[in-house]
Each structure stands twice: as structure tokens, then as C-alpha cells.
């Protein structure tokens, strides 16, 4: 078989086993790339193949690679890498995280692509989002893989420039159409066969049925905030580097991920809905834990119209709504920002009827969780998520402690 025949047969293998991915698989342009040590892709559905390196691979192995590469493109991994501000030092760890997000579906039926990370390699469970694998996953030692800019958005040396016309590669608008077509194929395949992989099904549902679900929005916003803070790695001499054995006389700095400190400022004025407050607190609690924030790194400040210091409480169940007029959250936000150690992220839970500090606190990210149907918007420097009442009244809500 020559190179063209190998690619054709691998693509047919992939389209036969993953029929709902056909629109994406047949959009691929194959490009010869010597010495890249495998297969990689760019953001324009161009798959770069090192034919010498892969000469002994079966159609199935090459086909799995194609499914893997189009999965990077469909799930928008390059866009998501830009969204969390990925830096070059973390590229390989990010590739492992996005690979884990893809491969847990693939290995249900086939072998994973060569040298590509699985959730277990990062010491985490399956079915998580790449951002979770990135923040909470262990780094793989001694092994890495570069799937190209399709996975991380940073063009590699072997990649061709962005396409000027249709025949050079898939452009952004066309890529969006391919994504929607594939998502719709996955949903109809699920209806007729019921065996679409869980991860792809979740992706397709999210793309085509974007319900305004405050839990999802809050989750994405909070995870992004935590990932940005954790991504700001610093070199620390506190723990010896693993490379230290190579140079025993010199103490090398080790790369240490920061655990973000989070403060929650909670509006306790009487106008708040107690049930929504409990729901929001339990959601935030779970999201922080799943994003890798330790519970002892979270402080809760309560704040109503009373002047005076904000109270520090140990558990959400200690929060009680008090009577009285309006709210002034500036006191609570100031108390949180000025506390030592200074928080990286302040989450403000309020019905929005409050004055805000005139300016953004320095080096502290602020997120507002706004309870109720039409809360007044917070200032521009605050990222807001509106939490609406979506469940029937009378649902029992347990109290959760931080
Ligand atoms: Zn990959």
C-alpha cells in the first residue's frame, strides 16, 4: 500500500466504526511531515503524518489517530487552551489533559493512540473535563505527546500557515458547520443505536441544546478562574526538584502549582432567597473541591446592612439571613480582600441590590453569583452568573459545610 492508500484505508476504518464522525473525518487534509514522530493536527483539519514513523501501523491504529485528532477539533481544545491562558511550559500537561478527555471514550472499544495519556495516567477518574484533568491531574513523568495546535492552539514548526482558500484547509466558519453537523449526527445515532460514546454525547448535547443552566455556567466560570490562578505556576525552592539527582550540589527550583485561596462573601440581608442561597453554596462547595481547591483554603464572610466587621463563619449552615434594610457588600468585599493571606478569588453571593466597591481590588479576581430572576448587573470588573430558581418549591436542600 502506498501512503495515499494507507490514509484512505485508515479513514474508511474510522468512518466505519464512528459513522457520526464522517463529516469531520472526510474534511481532513493529510500532509506529509517527516520527523514529527507520529501524527498531529492543526486547527484547520489538516492532519500531519510522519509516514516513516508510522509505516508499520495498521489501518486501525492510524484510524484511531484520526478519530483522536478530529476529537481535538470538535471539542474546541485549542480555543479552550486560549481561554485558560495556557503557557508554553504547560503545553504537554494540557495535551495530556485533553487527550484524557478524548481517550476515555476511545478505549471503550479500541486501543488508545500511541503514547497518549489516559485518565488513570493522571491519577484521576474517567469522564472529567480537560480543565479538571489539567488542574487536578498529576503530571506524567518522562512521557509526553504533542498533538499539534488542534490540541493547544500554538502552531508547531511543521504546520502550514492558515488556509487562504477552501482547498488549503478548513476555515473557522466551515469548522463551526462541521461541528454542528457532527453533533447532530451523534444525537441521531444515539436515538437509533443508543451506543454513542458518553463524552461525545455530552459534548453534542451541550453544543446543540445550550440550556441556560446556571450550574453549568457557574461551573465553567469558577473552573476557569481557578485554572487561571493555578496555571500561574511559580518556581519554588521549598520542595526539592526531581531533577536534583542530576546535580546533587545545586538546589534546583521545583515547579509548584499554586493552590488558589478563595473567599466567599455572602449577602445575608432579608431580601435573599434562603433556598437559592443554600443551593448556590452547595454548588460552589462541590465545584471548588472538584477544581482542586482545599477546603481549608476557603473562607466565608457574611455581610448585611450592619456596619462593622464582616463575620467569618466556618460552615455554610452557620449562615442565617437577618432582617433589616438594604445591604452594603463593600464592607464584606473589603474585609475579604484585606484579610491575610490575601485571597486570589472572591466569590460574592448576593441578590444584586447592593453598592459595590468603586474599583476592582488589585490582583484579586471577583465573581458574583447573583440570586433571583432579574438582579441588577454588577460593575464591569465583576464576572456575574445569574442563579435562577429552576426547581419546584418545597425541594429539601441540605446544608453543606465548607
Ligand atoms: Zn491528542
- The C-alpha cell that represents 264 in the structure block: 466567599
Distance 116 CA to ligand 1 centre (A): 7
pLDDT in tens, 195-214: 888 889 989 988 887 555 67
Residue with cell 446544608: 399
**Gap from CA of 72 to ligand 1 centroid (Å):** 7
Name the domain boundary from 186, 208, 230.
Answer: 208
Asked whether residue 53 falls in the same domain as residue 149, the answer is yes
Residue 343 burial (C-beta neighbours within 10 Å; 0-12, 13-18, 19+) = buried
pLDDT tens for each residue of 22-66: 999 999 999 999 999 999 999 999 999 999 999 999 999 999 999
- Looking at the structure, tell me whether residues 193 and 263 fall in a common domain: no
Weakest mean pLDDT among 140-144, 294-298, 358-362, 382-386: 294-298
Q: Is residue 402 domain-resident?
A: no
Q: How far, in Å, from the CA of 293 to the mean position of ligand 1?
A: 27
Measure CA of the first residue to CA of the last residue in the chain; give whole Å: 61
pLDDT band for position 392 (cuts 50, 70, 90): very low
Both 314 and 192 in a single domain?
no
Ligand 1 geometric centre to CA of 101 (Å):
9
Residue 245, pLDDT above cutoff 60:
no
Residue 233, in any domain of the structure: no
Closest CA relative to residue 201, chosen from 213, 191, 187, 211: 187
- Residue 323: phi and psi, rounded to 5, are -75, -175
Alpha-helical (H) ranges within 48-161 are 59-74, 77-83, 91-106, 130-136, 149-152
Supply the pLDDT for residue 51.
Answer: 95
170/44 Cα distance (integer angstroms):
5
Residue 349: domain span: 259-387
Evaluate whether residue 193 is within a structural domain: yes
Of 208, 226, 247, the one marking the end of a domain is: 208
DSSP helix/strand/coil, 371 = strand
CATH number of the CATH domain containing 361 = 3.40.50.410
Q: What is the mean pLDDT of the chain?
A: 82
pLDDT tops 70 at residue 185: yes
Residue 94 resides in a domain = yes
Same domain, 70 and 186: yes
Give residue 363's pLDDT band: very low, low, confident or very high (50, 70, 90): confident
Quote the ligand 1 centre to 393 CA distance (angstroms).
45
pLDDT digits (tens, 9 = 90+) for 318-346: 666 664 556 788 888 888 898 888 888 89
Of 192, 208, 224, the residue at which a domain comes to its end is 208
Cα 6 to ligand 1 centroid, rounded to whole Å: 21
pLDDT band at 243 (very low <50, low <70, confident <90, very high): low
Note every long-range contact of 387-391, with CB atoms under 8 Å and residues 24 or more positions apart, other chains counting: 387/214, 387/218, 387/276, 387/279, 387/280, 388/214, 389/273, 389/275, 389/276, 390/213, 390/214, 391/279
The two beta strands, 234-236 and 39-41, are: unpaired
Residue scoring higher pLDDT (263 or 295): 263
Question: 3-class DSSP state for residue 402?
Answer: coil
Q: How far apart are CA 353 and CA 387, in angstroms?
A: 14
In a domain, 392, yes or no: no
287 and 157, same domain (yes or no)? no
Sign of CA dihedral 35, 40, 43, 45: positive
Q: In terms of domains, do 199 and 298 share one?
A: no
* Span 365-391, average pLDDT: 82
- Look at residue 222 and tell me if it is in a domain: no
- For 95, the 3-state DSSP assignment is helix
Strands in 383-387's sheet, in edge-to-edge order, are: 311-313, 298-303, 262-267, 345-350, 365-371, 383-387
How far, in Å, from the CA of 98 to the mean position of ligand 1?
Answer: 7
Q: Is the CB of residue 262 less than 8 Å from the CB of residue 284?
A: no
Give CA–CA dist 204/40, Å, rounded: 23
Domain assignment present for 50: yes
Please give the tally of structural domains in the chain: 2
190 and 296 part of one domain: no
* 136-140, 220-224, 332-336: range with lowest mean pLDDT: 220-224
Domain assignment present for 170: yes
Residues 266 and 203 in one domain: no
Distance of CA 209 to the CA centre of its chain: 19
Is the same domain home to 203 and 264?
Answer: no
Do residue 284 and residue 193 come from a single domain? Answer: no
Percent of all residues in the chain with a pLDDT value above 90, rounded to a whole number: 40
> Is 33 in the same domain as 181?
yes
Amino acid at each position: 500500500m502506498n501512503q495515499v492508500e494507507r490514509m484512505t484505508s485508515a479513514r474508511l476504518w474510522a468512518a466505519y466504526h464512528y459513522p457520526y464522525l464522517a463529516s469531520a473525518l472526510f474534511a481532513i487534509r493529510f500532509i506529509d511531515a517527516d520527523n514529527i514522530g507520529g501524527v498531529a493536527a492543526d486547527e484547520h483539519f489538516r492532519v500531519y503524518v510522519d509516514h516513516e514513523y508510522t509505516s508499520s501501523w495498521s489501518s486501525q491504529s492510524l484510524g484511531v489517530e484520526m478519530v483522536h485528532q478530529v476529537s481535538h477539533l470538535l471539542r474546541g481544545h485549542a480555543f479552550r487552551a486560549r481561554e485558560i491562558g495556557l503557557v508554553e511550559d504547560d503545553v504537554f500537561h494540557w495535551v495530556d489533559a485533553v487527550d484524557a478527555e478524548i481517550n476515555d471514550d476511545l478505549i471503550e472499544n479500541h486501543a488508545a493512540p500511541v503514547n497518549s495519556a489516559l485518565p488513570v495516567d493522571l491519577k484521576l477518574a474517567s469522564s472529567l473535563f480537560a480543565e479538571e484533568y489539567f488542574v487536578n491531574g498529576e503530571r506524567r513523568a518522562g512521557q509526553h505527546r504533542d498533538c499539534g495546535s488542534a490540541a493547544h492552539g500554538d502552531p508547531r514548526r511543521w504546520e502550514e500557515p492558515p488556509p487562504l482558500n477552501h482547498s488549503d484547509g478548513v476555515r473557522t466558519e466551515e469548522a463551526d458547520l462541521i461541528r454542528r453537523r457532527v453533533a447532530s449526527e451523534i444525537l441521531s445515532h444515539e436515538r437509533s443505536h443508543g451506543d454513542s460514546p458518553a463524552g461525545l454525547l455530552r459534548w453534542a448535547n451541550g453544543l446543540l441544546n445550550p440550556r441556560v443552566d446556571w450550574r453549568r455556567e457557574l461551573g465553567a466560570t469558577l473552573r476557569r478562574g481557578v485554572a487561571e490562578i493555578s496555571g500561574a505556576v511559580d518556581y519554588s525552592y521549598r520542595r526539592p526538584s526531581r531533577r536534583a539527582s542530576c546535580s546533587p550540589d545545586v538546589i534546583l527550583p521545583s515547579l509548584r502549582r499554586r493552590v488558589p485561596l478563595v473567599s466567599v462573601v455572602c449577602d445575608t440581608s432579608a431580601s435573599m432567597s434562603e433556598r437559592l442561597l443554600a443551593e448556590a453554596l452547595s454548588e460552589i462547595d462541590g465545584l471548588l473541591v472538584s477544581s482542586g481547591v482545599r477546603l481549608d483554603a476557603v473562607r466565608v464572610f457574611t455581610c448585611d446592612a450592619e456596619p462593622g466587621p464582616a463575620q467569618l463563619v466556618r460552615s455554610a449552615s452557620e449562615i442565617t439571613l437577618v432582617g433589616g434594610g438594604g445591604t452594603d457588600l463593600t464592607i464584606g468585599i473589603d474585609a475579604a480582600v484585606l484579610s491575610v493571606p490575601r485571597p486570589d478569588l472572591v466569590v460574592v453571593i448576593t441578590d444584586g441590590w447592593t453598592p459595590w466597591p468603586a474599583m476592582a481590588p488589585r490582583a484579586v479576581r471577583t465573581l458574583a453569583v447573583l440570586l433571583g430572576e432579574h438582579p441588577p448587573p454588577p460593575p464591569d470588573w465583576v464576572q456575574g452568573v445569574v442563579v435562577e430558581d429552576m426547581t419546584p418549591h418545597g425541594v429539601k436542600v441540605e446544608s453543606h459545610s465548607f
